Amino acid sequence: MHSEAQKEVWEVWRLNINIYYGGRGIIDDPTLFVINKMQEILEELNVKVARYNLYEAKNNITTLPQTLKEADGIILATTVEWYGIGGYMQQFLDACWLFGDKEKISKIYMCPVVMSTTYGEREAKLNLSTAWEILGGRPCSGICGYIENSLTLEMNEQYLNIIEKKAENMYRTINQHMFSFPASNQAVRQRVAIPQNTTLTPQESEQLSEYVSDDSYVQRQKEDIQELASLFRGLMGNEGADNEEEYLTEFKKAFAPQPDFRAEYSITIPEKPRKLILTIKGPQMEIRYGQPDNPTVEMEISRVSMEQIVNGRMTFQRAFMEGAKTRGDFKALRVLDQIFPFGGEKN
Protein backbone atom coordinates (compact mmCIF):
# COMPACT_ATOMS: atom_id res chain seq x y z
CA MET A 1 0.00 0.00 0.00
CA HIS A 2 2.84 2.35 0.83
CA SER A 3 6.20 2.55 -0.98
CA GLU A 4 9.35 1.34 0.74
CA ALA A 5 10.75 4.90 0.54
CA GLN A 6 7.72 6.24 2.43
CA LYS A 7 8.01 3.57 5.10
CA GLU A 8 11.74 4.22 5.51
CA VAL A 9 11.06 7.92 6.14
CA TRP A 10 8.03 7.35 8.38
CA GLU A 11 9.72 4.71 10.56
CA VAL A 12 12.46 7.06 11.78
CA TRP A 13 10.55 7.70 15.01
CA ARG A 14 8.00 5.27 16.35
CA LEU A 15 4.89 7.01 17.64
CA ASN A 16 2.47 5.94 20.35
CA ILE A 17 -1.20 6.54 19.54
CA ASN A 18 -4.09 5.58 21.82
CA ILE A 19 -7.63 4.97 20.58
CA TYR A 20 -10.48 5.64 23.02
CA TYR A 21 -13.75 4.18 21.73
CA GLY A 22 -16.90 5.55 23.38
CA GLY A 23 -19.59 3.55 21.58
CA ARG A 24 -21.52 0.52 22.82
CA GLY A 25 -19.52 -2.08 20.90
CA ILE A 26 -22.31 -3.21 18.57
CA ILE A 27 -20.93 -5.35 15.76
CA ASP A 28 -22.46 -3.18 12.98
CA ASP A 29 -21.20 0.08 14.51
CA PRO A 30 -19.57 1.97 11.59
CA THR A 31 -17.22 3.73 14.02
CA LEU A 32 -15.65 0.36 14.86
CA PHE A 33 -14.93 -0.26 11.18
CA VAL A 34 -13.30 3.18 10.81
CA ILE A 35 -11.00 2.84 13.84
CA ASN A 36 -10.09 -0.74 12.93
CA LYS A 37 -9.06 0.50 9.48
CA MET A 38 -7.16 3.47 10.94
CA GLN A 39 -5.36 1.18 13.38
CA GLU A 40 -4.37 -1.08 10.50
CA ILE A 41 -2.94 1.84 8.52
CA LEU A 42 -1.11 3.30 11.53
CA GLU A 43 0.45 -0.07 12.38
CA GLU A 44 1.68 -0.31 8.78
CA LEU A 45 3.47 2.97 9.49
CA ASN A 46 5.16 1.36 12.52
CA VAL A 47 2.96 3.17 15.04
CA LYS A 48 2.34 1.49 18.39
CA VAL A 49 -1.44 1.58 18.83
CA ALA A 50 -3.28 0.91 22.10
CA ARG A 51 -7.08 0.49 22.11
CA TYR A 52 -9.32 1.35 25.09
CA ASN A 53 -13.01 0.43 24.86
CA LEU A 54 -14.70 2.72 27.38
CA TYR A 55 -17.76 0.49 27.77
CA GLU A 56 -15.46 -2.25 29.09
CA ALA A 57 -13.65 0.15 31.45
CA LYS A 58 -16.78 1.98 32.64
CA ASN A 59 -15.98 1.26 36.31
CA ASN A 60 -12.40 2.54 35.95
CA ILE A 61 -12.80 5.52 33.60
CA THR A 62 -11.39 7.89 36.24
CA THR A 63 -8.03 6.10 35.97
CA LEU A 64 -7.79 6.17 32.16
CA PRO A 65 -6.20 9.66 31.91
CA GLN A 66 -3.06 7.99 33.28
CA THR A 67 -2.82 6.05 29.99
CA LEU A 68 -2.15 9.37 28.21
CA LYS A 69 1.33 9.67 29.70
CA GLU A 70 3.12 7.76 26.92
CA ALA A 71 0.89 8.92 24.06
CA ASP A 72 2.03 11.20 21.24
CA GLY A 73 -1.48 11.34 19.84
CA ILE A 74 -4.94 9.94 20.47
CA ILE A 75 -8.12 9.16 18.57
CA LEU A 76 -11.40 9.92 20.32
CA ALA A 77 -14.01 7.80 18.55
CA THR A 78 -17.73 7.63 19.25
CA THR A 79 -21.05 6.96 17.57
CA VAL A 80 -24.07 9.27 17.58
CA GLU A 81 -27.04 6.95 18.01
CA TRP A 82 -29.56 9.55 19.13
CA TYR A 83 -27.90 12.71 20.48
CA GLY A 84 -24.41 13.81 21.42
CA ILE A 85 -21.11 12.04 22.04
CA GLY A 86 -22.49 9.52 24.54
CA GLY A 87 -22.04 9.04 28.26
CA TYR A 88 -18.83 6.99 28.24
CA MET A 89 -16.91 9.55 26.19
CA GLN A 90 -18.23 12.41 28.33
CA GLN A 91 -17.09 10.59 31.48
CA PHE A 92 -13.62 10.11 29.98
CA LEU A 93 -13.33 13.81 29.10
CA ASP A 94 -14.55 14.73 32.59
CA ALA A 95 -11.83 12.49 34.06
CA CYS A 96 -9.21 14.19 31.86
CA TRP A 97 -10.35 17.57 33.20
CA LEU A 98 -10.35 16.47 36.83
CA PHE A 99 -7.42 14.05 36.99
CA GLY A 100 -5.42 14.42 33.76
CA ASP A 101 -1.89 15.79 33.56
CA LYS A 102 -2.57 19.10 31.76
CA GLU A 103 1.10 19.62 30.90
CA LYS A 104 1.18 16.25 29.16
CA ILE A 105 -2.19 16.80 27.47
CA SER A 106 -0.89 20.09 26.03
CA LYS A 107 1.58 18.07 23.91
CA ILE A 108 -0.89 15.46 22.65
CA TYR A 109 -2.59 15.67 19.24
CA MET A 110 -6.19 14.45 19.04
CA CYS A 111 -8.09 13.19 15.99
CA PRO A 112 -11.89 12.97 16.46
CA VAL A 113 -13.81 10.17 14.71
CA VAL A 114 -17.61 10.32 14.79
CA MET A 115 -19.96 8.14 12.75
CA SER A 116 -23.69 8.73 13.06
CA THR A 117 -26.69 6.50 12.48
CA THR A 118 -28.93 9.51 13.06
CA TYR A 119 -28.48 13.31 12.97
CA GLY A 120 -25.61 15.17 14.64
CA GLU A 121 -22.20 13.79 13.64
CA ARG A 122 -20.75 17.23 12.79
CA GLU A 123 -21.80 18.73 16.11
CA ALA A 124 -20.37 15.75 18.01
CA LYS A 125 -17.05 16.02 16.15
CA LEU A 126 -16.92 19.74 16.97
CA ASN A 127 -17.69 18.99 20.63
CA LEU A 128 -14.77 16.56 20.85
CA SER A 129 -12.38 19.07 19.26
CA THR A 130 -13.61 21.90 21.50
CA ALA A 131 -13.29 19.80 24.65
CA TRP A 132 -9.74 18.76 23.77
CA GLU A 133 -8.72 22.36 23.07
CA ILE A 134 -10.17 23.52 26.41
CA LEU A 135 -8.11 20.78 28.06
CA GLY A 136 -5.11 22.39 26.35
CA GLY A 137 -4.51 19.68 23.76
CA ARG A 138 -3.67 19.97 20.08
CA PRO A 139 -6.34 19.26 17.44
CA CYS A 140 -5.99 17.18 14.26
CA SER A 141 -8.35 17.02 11.31
CA GLY A 142 -10.93 14.32 12.03
CA ILE A 143 -13.58 12.20 10.34
CA CYS A 144 -17.35 12.36 10.60
CA GLY A 145 -20.15 10.94 8.52
CA TYR A 146 -23.65 9.52 8.40
CA ILE A 147 -23.47 5.77 7.80
CA GLU A 148 -26.43 3.43 8.19
CA ASN A 149 -24.44 0.20 7.86
CA SER A 150 -20.73 -0.59 8.18
CA LEU A 151 -20.92 -2.63 4.95
CA THR A 152 -21.43 0.68 3.16
CA LEU A 153 -17.93 1.69 4.25
CA GLU A 154 -16.33 -1.65 3.41
CA MET A 155 -17.72 -1.79 -0.13
CA ASN A 156 -16.92 1.81 -1.10
CA GLU A 157 -13.33 2.30 -2.26
CA GLN A 158 -13.58 6.10 -2.00
CA TYR A 159 -14.59 5.90 1.66
CA LEU A 160 -11.65 3.56 2.35
CA ASN A 161 -9.30 6.05 0.68
CA ILE A 162 -10.63 8.87 2.90
CA ILE A 163 -9.98 6.81 6.04
CA GLU A 164 -6.49 5.90 4.85
CA LYS A 165 -5.59 9.51 4.06
CA LYS A 166 -6.89 10.74 7.42
CA ALA A 167 -4.75 8.17 9.25
CA GLU A 168 -1.68 9.17 7.22
CA ASN A 169 -2.36 12.89 7.78
CA MET A 170 -2.66 12.29 11.51
CA TYR A 171 0.70 10.51 11.42
CA ARG A 172 2.32 13.39 9.54
CA THR A 173 0.81 16.01 11.85
CA ILE A 174 2.23 14.31 14.94
CA ASN A 175 5.55 13.29 13.43
CA GLN A 176 6.25 16.79 12.10
CA HIS A 177 4.90 18.58 15.20
CA MET A 178 2.70 20.75 13.00
CA PHE A 179 1.80 24.08 14.55
CA SER A 180 -1.60 25.77 14.51
CA PHE A 181 -2.99 29.18 15.44
CA PRO A 182 -4.14 29.55 19.07
CA ALA A 183 -7.86 29.00 19.63
CA SER A 184 -10.18 30.99 21.86
CA ASN A 185 -11.05 27.73 23.61
CA GLN A 186 -7.51 27.57 24.95
CA ALA A 187 -7.68 31.22 25.98
CA VAL A 188 -10.82 30.48 27.97
CA ARG A 189 -8.97 27.78 29.84
CA GLN A 190 -5.98 30.01 30.52
CA ARG A 191 -7.97 33.07 31.67
CA VAL A 192 -11.28 31.92 33.07
CA ALA A 193 -11.81 28.19 33.30
CA ILE A 194 -8.67 27.13 35.11
CA PRO A 195 -9.86 24.33 37.39
CA GLN A 196 -8.96 24.20 41.02
CA ASN A 197 -6.47 21.55 41.94
CA THR A 198 -8.52 18.54 42.88
CA THR A 199 -7.69 17.56 46.43
CA LEU A 200 -8.35 13.90 47.08
CA THR A 201 -8.75 12.40 50.51
CA PRO A 202 -6.24 9.69 51.49
CA GLN A 203 -9.01 7.14 50.99
CA GLU A 204 -9.78 8.40 47.46
CA SER A 205 -6.08 8.45 46.52
CA GLU A 206 -5.69 4.90 47.79
CA GLN A 207 -8.77 3.79 45.87
CA LEU A 208 -7.47 5.26 42.60
CA SER A 209 -4.11 3.60 43.16
CA GLU A 210 -5.80 0.28 43.77
CA TYR A 211 -7.72 0.55 40.49
CA VAL A 212 -4.52 0.99 38.53
CA SER A 213 -2.61 -1.71 40.36
CA ASP A 214 -5.53 -4.11 40.08
CA ASP A 215 -5.80 -3.57 36.32
CA SER A 216 -2.09 -4.26 35.85
CA TYR A 217 -2.26 -7.31 38.12
CA VAL A 218 -5.29 -8.73 36.33
CA GLN A 219 -3.62 -8.23 32.95
CA ARG A 220 -0.50 -10.07 34.12
CA GLN A 221 -2.66 -12.87 35.50
CA LYS A 222 -4.50 -13.21 32.18
CA GLU A 223 -1.21 -13.42 30.29
CA ASP A 224 0.11 -16.05 32.70
CA ILE A 225 -3.08 -18.12 32.35
CA GLN A 226 -2.88 -17.93 28.56
CA GLU A 227 0.74 -19.07 28.58
CA LEU A 228 -0.09 -21.95 30.94
CA ALA A 229 -3.06 -22.96 28.80
CA SER A 230 -0.85 -23.14 25.71
CA LEU A 231 1.79 -25.07 27.66
CA PHE A 232 -0.66 -27.67 28.96
CA ARG A 233 -2.21 -28.11 25.53
CA GLY A 234 1.26 -29.02 24.29
CA LEU A 235 1.87 -31.41 27.20
CA MET A 236 -1.44 -33.16 26.53
CA GLY A 237 -0.40 -34.13 23.01
CA ASN A 238 -1.06 -31.08 20.85
CA GLU A 239 1.86 -30.19 18.66
CA GLY A 240 1.20 -26.45 18.73
CA ALA A 241 1.03 -24.27 15.67
CA ASP A 242 1.64 -27.07 13.12
CA ASN A 243 -0.95 -29.49 14.59
CA GLU A 244 -3.85 -29.66 12.14
CA GLU A 245 -6.09 -31.44 14.66
CA GLU A 246 -5.96 -28.52 17.07
CA TYR A 247 -9.34 -26.88 17.82
CA LEU A 248 -11.28 -29.39 15.68
CA THR A 249 -12.65 -31.31 18.67
CA GLU A 250 -13.65 -28.13 20.51
CA PHE A 251 -15.61 -26.81 17.53
CA LYS A 252 -17.35 -30.15 16.96
CA LYS A 253 -18.43 -30.38 20.60
CA ALA A 254 -19.73 -26.78 20.69
CA PHE A 255 -21.62 -26.97 17.36
CA ALA A 256 -25.25 -25.82 17.76
CA PRO A 257 -26.97 -26.05 14.33
CA GLN A 258 -29.17 -23.18 13.15
CA PRO A 259 -32.06 -24.20 10.85
CA ASP A 260 -31.51 -23.43 7.15
CA PHE A 261 -28.33 -21.45 7.85
CA ARG A 262 -25.49 -21.88 5.34
CA ALA A 263 -22.11 -20.17 5.42
CA GLU A 264 -18.39 -20.79 5.13
CA TYR A 265 -15.94 -19.20 7.59
CA SER A 266 -12.23 -18.86 6.91
CA ILE A 267 -10.17 -18.17 10.05
CA THR A 268 -6.50 -17.26 9.73
CA ILE A 269 -4.32 -17.94 12.78
CA PRO A 270 -0.95 -16.30 11.94
CA GLU A 271 1.03 -19.01 13.73
CA LYS A 272 -0.50 -21.75 11.54
CA PRO A 273 0.45 -22.43 7.90
CA ARG A 274 -3.13 -23.10 6.72
CA LYS A 275 -6.53 -21.55 7.41
CA LEU A 276 -9.19 -23.07 9.66
CA ILE A 277 -12.27 -23.64 7.46
CA LEU A 278 -15.79 -24.01 8.90
CA THR A 279 -18.48 -25.00 6.39
CA ILE A 280 -22.03 -24.85 7.77
CA LYS A 281 -24.96 -26.38 5.88
CA GLY A 282 -27.96 -26.41 8.23
CA PRO A 283 -27.48 -29.33 10.63
CA GLN A 284 -24.19 -30.35 9.01
CA MET A 285 -20.78 -28.90 9.79
CA GLU A 286 -17.41 -29.63 8.23
CA ILE A 287 -14.21 -28.37 9.83
CA ARG A 288 -10.72 -28.66 8.37
CA TYR A 289 -7.45 -26.85 7.73
CA GLY A 290 -6.87 -25.77 4.14
CA GLN A 291 -7.97 -23.16 1.64
CA PRO A 292 -11.56 -21.82 1.49
CA ASP A 293 -13.75 -22.28 -1.59
CA ASN A 294 -16.04 -19.27 -1.32
CA PRO A 295 -15.88 -17.86 2.23
CA THR A 296 -18.83 -15.88 3.58
CA VAL A 297 -16.65 -14.39 6.34
CA GLU A 298 -12.86 -14.14 6.58
CA MET A 299 -11.19 -13.44 9.93
CA GLU A 300 -7.64 -13.18 11.25
CA ILE A 301 -7.42 -14.09 14.94
CA SER A 302 -4.33 -14.40 17.11
CA ARG A 303 -3.60 -17.74 18.74
CA VAL A 304 -4.16 -16.18 22.19
CA SER A 305 -7.64 -14.95 21.17
CA MET A 306 -8.54 -18.36 19.70
CA GLU A 307 -7.52 -20.02 22.97
CA GLN A 308 -9.81 -17.63 24.85
CA ILE A 309 -12.69 -18.30 22.45
CA VAL A 310 -12.61 -22.10 22.62
CA ASN A 311 -12.27 -21.92 26.41
CA GLY A 312 -15.37 -19.71 26.71
CA ARG A 313 -13.57 -16.56 27.88
CA MET A 314 -14.17 -14.55 24.69
CA THR A 315 -16.67 -14.46 21.82
CA PHE A 316 -15.98 -13.94 18.12
CA GLN A 317 -17.84 -10.61 18.35
CA ARG A 318 -15.57 -9.52 21.21
CA ALA A 319 -12.49 -10.49 19.16
CA PHE A 320 -13.82 -8.35 16.28
CA MET A 321 -14.39 -5.38 18.61
CA GLU A 322 -10.84 -5.69 19.93
CA GLY A 323 -9.38 -5.40 16.45
CA ALA A 324 -9.49 -8.82 14.77
CA LYS A 325 -9.35 -8.23 11.01
CA THR A 326 -12.69 -9.24 9.49
CA ARG A 327 -14.33 -8.97 6.11
CA GLY A 328 -17.44 -10.38 4.48
CA ASP A 329 -21.05 -10.74 5.61
CA PHE A 330 -21.27 -9.17 9.09
CA LYS A 331 -24.68 -10.76 9.67
CA ALA A 332 -23.07 -14.18 9.28
CA LEU A 333 -20.33 -13.09 11.68
CA ARG A 334 -22.97 -12.26 14.30
CA VAL A 335 -24.47 -15.77 13.91
CA LEU A 336 -21.07 -17.42 14.49
CA ASP A 337 -21.34 -17.08 18.28
CA GLN A 338 -24.77 -18.71 18.15
CA ILE A 339 -23.49 -21.66 16.14
CA PHE A 340 -20.50 -22.19 18.45
CA PRO A 341 -21.56 -21.12 21.98
CA PHE A 342 -18.29 -22.04 23.70
CA GLY A 343 -18.85 -22.11 27.44
CA GLY A 344 -22.62 -21.61 27.02
CA GLU A 345 -25.74 -23.62 26.44
CA LYS A 346 -26.54 -24.99 22.99
CA ASN A 347 -29.81 -24.01 21.41
- Residue 20's φ and ψ, nearest 5 degrees, are -110, 110
Whole-angstrom distance, CA of residue 136 vs CA of residue 32:
27
Contact between 30 and 150 (Cβ < 8 Å): yes
What pLDDT is recorded for position 56? 92
Q: Which residues contact 246 (CB under 8 A, 6 or more apart)?
A: 233, 238, 239, 240
The residue type at 90: Q
pLDDT tens for the 347 residues of the chain, in order: 554 544 444 444 579 999 999 999 988 899 999 999 999 999 999 999 999 999 999 888 999 999 999 999 999 999 999 889 999 999 999 999 999 999 999 999 999 999 998 889 999 999 999 999 999 999 899 999 998 777 888 889 999 999 999 999 999 999 888 877 766 665 555 554 454 555 555 555 556 555 555 556 566 666 666 666 655 555 554 444 456 788 899 999 999 998 889 999 999 998 888 999 999 998 999 999 998 888 999 999 988 888 889 988 888 888 887 778 888 888 888 889 889 998 765 54
